[in-house]
Structure 1
């Protein structure tokens, strides 16, 4: 078959879509004799390659003397484990919007779309379905609450970039707990239409919280919208090393704990999504300190979910990722252990480091900054190359879009042993783990869109809510 004909005639079938890419086939394999779940906690470390998972585990074992929560579940054989594909309707390599929509809408959609199918289909997003069943629902994330992954469980939109519109959609949906970053999409000073969504949420009965202390104090007697940063939250490594951020910005585990506390008051149960969204951002930037410590931040949220589920006995916990990103790994050398140990004492992400460098910095200042915060010792020529990447505009300010993430990562690799395959998403099959009622139905390999019906059937949803 010619290549052009393959993509015209066979691409959707090759991806396992069939005509519409629905989850209909999965329903035939689901055992109705399995125990039903009252609650679901769906945890996704966005953009987590397998190397990210295992390096975080190595770091924790040798820095703190304990395994990661996720790998510990495997060691103790507490979860069912599978592989999952990650394709979208338009590519073997998905973006987060299409990957999340496979779960949220039960069908594959084109990259960039949120629950809008290749032929314009608009399946009802899964949290709306669970809301009609009387359950409390919500999302917590380390990126904007309007970002692709949380939005994929909530809304239909032709473009993941329509975050200002998604903020308005959330006002109408009135989900029970939504927390993360993204204040800029609610602030009239930052919105193009200058609409004051902060006031709109407050006037329509939301508890709008902006700090960790405000989050902790909220009682959950009305819908909660938590907005803890203008865009994404700071990287975990930067938060824990900054007293002001530590005081103001909650960790993913703290948001998860609060969300469970509020949502679990509903006698009919709850469904929530927890996203470690900045794992993906760190992978795009080849930012090893940010990547590993945000993965650990996510892992702590896994621990919170598992603590609740093991006591509750009625909760299905799903732990996965939507796709790989950049495929980082620890590579062999005679000093592999010693090199990786540099990650034990880092105090800042590459992003934070690069944002401290201003026009006029000397080579020695750059060298001192890296050595004091990351124990990375640059050569004079490396420091000069970093400085050469800073572009000064007509207003005298450098363009942050030109920050030299990749050159710095390449320099660090020689000293940490952490290397990267690229700086974008991959088509890897990914880890999928489940604990609790319904997990016995997990087969060894699943297509991503099959999780939609899986979750609904696990909670005993009416057949009318399933994808046909």
Structure 2
């Protein structure tokens, strides 16, 4: 009797198994969840990243994922603003300064966040600025001027995002008071009001759309919420170095990022999250090196949260970038022209480490009579002032002037230089982790297309999402007008026979003969034109 060879036996067994079991069990395999976490460090040049690393005394989370660079210019300038930069990174189109979610012709361009939402992904934004400010607004709204905070806030409410965390509660309420100091350093109150008088906080609560919180404790208790809106300050959140002592009820950027990821990851398809560390830019405009270091390190902690999740998940792309440079900060200034060869790290770092607060945090403690001026200066690391230096501080005409003198003196002591109080036009670092991450030197407009490809949709398929409502409905035989009887809440009105459709500005619905019908996007009234999305 012949003996079968082992290889032949295995072959026969495999063949039998192939005929014994069906190739599928009656359903298609579930595709893996895919997530994108896009993190933007506003207004950050390369030297402040270096300085922050030295300040920390060890490597950054960002260092581990450096993959290339990004070009930042706008369609009209070598130096962009945050609105044009944010819009480029949200829509894939270069545009003009101050435009939010609008292409260069002033037409709304659907953002990658909106497209992700329409494709079934959960979506969210996190910011340390008011969420109505340029960068978060560029992903969630469409206006021709970045300062239209009321319109931006209303569009964000009606976008029905899953998570919104940051500042800006003032633009959700009809009236809001915020204490500031006048030219004499005395406290006064400025009024922030929604021009249309609407109370969007009440809407969020009454419609049960969101769990709404205004505190750090509320954020920590929000696990399991379906949708979450956290508005932790009237305007911007505190600088991270100041937060524990001066604003302990506000969450950190890392805490907000962690919570957003936890909530968004419940979606079986995946999510798109935009996180902005907003206030590197704010400190850079002030030329405050302490504030800049504070916010770079705060942002880096948030990056750590994203990377921790991505490493465990395996299907999450994390991309971090800055939208543009700011201030031209340099390690070294005119005082080091001839001595730079002999400047140890301590020369730059030790003067900064003497500061307990950012310049904004330090001056917020100044008494009206300035009797604690010396203590305020010391809290910013400015001790042992000579007579001339102290007199300059004492004679500052207002708080803003005092802050300018304080940052100039600390910068001199720390041997750092600034070339401007405005933005700069250099290429910026690109950081990436996870599947299909971008690499090399790319345009800022490439980023949303990278995200869209990974999430398996095309931005081009949404290129005609918005139409000029007046032109569109006229071609269909409707009578069309813009009802401006309430100038703060105009409506596009179209009539044909017994049918009347009313499209209110900034809302995600229209009203047909008195009955509201939900839309997949918000109505945009900008530059005299009403843009709508319409499906037969």
Greater helix share, 1 or 2? 1
C-alpha change, 1:466 and 1:432, in structure 2 (3 Å) is: farther
C-alpha change, 1:211 and 1:91, in structure 2 (3 Å) is: same
Higher-Rg structure is 2
C-alpha change, 1:115 and 1:407, in structure 2 (3 Å) is: same
The answer to whether structure 1 residue 70 and structure 2 residue 58 are counterparts is: no
Structure number with the bigger relative contact order (C-alpha 8 A, sep ≥ 6) is 1
Moved more, 445-454 or 382-391: 382-391
- Give per-residue Cα distances to partners, 1:120-174, cap 9 Å, x unaligned: 2321122110001110000101110111101111111111101111111112111
Measure the CA separation in 2 of the matches of 1:403 and 1:353: 14
User: Residue 206 of structure 2 is aligned with which of 179, 203, 206?
Assistant: 203
Moved more, 454-463 or 45-54: 454-463
The answer to whether structure 1 residue 99 and structure 2 residue 85 are counterparts is: yes
Map 1:127-276 → 2, pairs under 5 A = 127-190=113-176, 191=193, 192-205=195-208, 206-242=210-246, 245-246=247-248, 248-276=249-277
Moved >4 Å (runs of 4+): 332-336
C-alpha change, 1:221 and 1:238, in structure 2 (3 Å) is: closer
C-alpha change, 1:410 and 1:373, in structure 2 (3 Å) is: closer
Measure the CA separation in 2 of the matches of 1:303 and 1:452: 22
| Residue pair 1:37, 1:438 contacting (<8 A) in 2 also | no
The answer to whether structure 1 residue 309 and structure 2 residue 310 are counterparts is: yes
SS in 2 for 1:152: helix
Greater strand share, 1 or 2? 2
Q: What number of residue pairs does the alignment pair up?
A: 408
SS in 1 for 2:43: coil
| Residue pair 1:37, 1:316 contacting (<8 A) in 2 also | no
Map 1:264-413 → 2, pairs under 5 A = 264-331=265-332, 332=336, 333=339, 334=342, 336-339=344-347, 340-358=349-367, 360-361=369-370, 365-391=372-398, 400=399, 402-413=400-411
Question: Which TM-score applies when normalising by structure 1?
Answer: 0.83
C-alpha change, 1:377 and 1:350, in structure 2 (3 Å) is: farther
1:381: how far off? Answer: 2.1
Moved more, 182-191 or 228-237: 182-191
SS in 1 for 2:212: strand
SS in 2 for 1:178: strand
SS in 1 for 2:320: strand
Measure the CA separation in 2 of the matches of 1:357 and 1:351: 10
C-alpha change, 1:241 and 1:375, in structure 2 (3 Å) is: farther
| Residue pair 2:353, 2:381 contacting (<8 A) in 1 also | no
| Residue pair 2:115, 2:462 contacting (<8 A) in 1 also | no
Say what the alpha-carbon RMSD is for the aligned residues.
2.1
